[in-house]
Amino acid sequence: MGQLTVAEYDALERAIVDARRIRLFRRGTEFLVVPEKLVVRDGREAIIARHPTTGAALEILLEETDRFEVVR
């Protein structure tokens, strides 16, 4: 995915603030998660999220993400 657009950053930040689910697509797999924060680790942006059912923590690198969308 690389660098997000301003609109995508806004949507992701709003999803974090509102604790709204997002749908991520990575390598042909769909992930439904609740994002908690956006971080930079070793110069790479990542979304820290939780699985909505199990509560398991996930760290997903944005550069490995094909796309995402906020679930309404």
Q: What is the pLDDT of residue 4?
A: 84
Q: What is the pLDDT of residue 2?
A: 64
Residue 1 lies in a domain: no
Residue 64 lies in a domain: yes
As a three-state string, the secondary structure of 2-53 is CCCCHHHHHHHHHHHHHCCCEEEEECCEEEEEEEEEEEEECCEEEEEEECCC
Q: What is the pLDDT along the chain (72 residues), one digit of tens a residue?
A: 667 889 999 999 999 999 999 999 999 999 999 999 999 999 999 999 999 999 999 999 999 999 999 998
Q: What is the pLDDT of residue 1?
A: 66
Q: What is the pLDDT of residue 24?
A: 93
Domain extent for 60: 6-70
Residue 25 lies in a domain: yes
Say how many domains are in the chain: 1
Q: What is the CATH number of the domain that holds 61?
A: 2.30.30
Residue 42 lies in a domain: yes
Q: Is the pTM of this model over 0.75?
A: yes
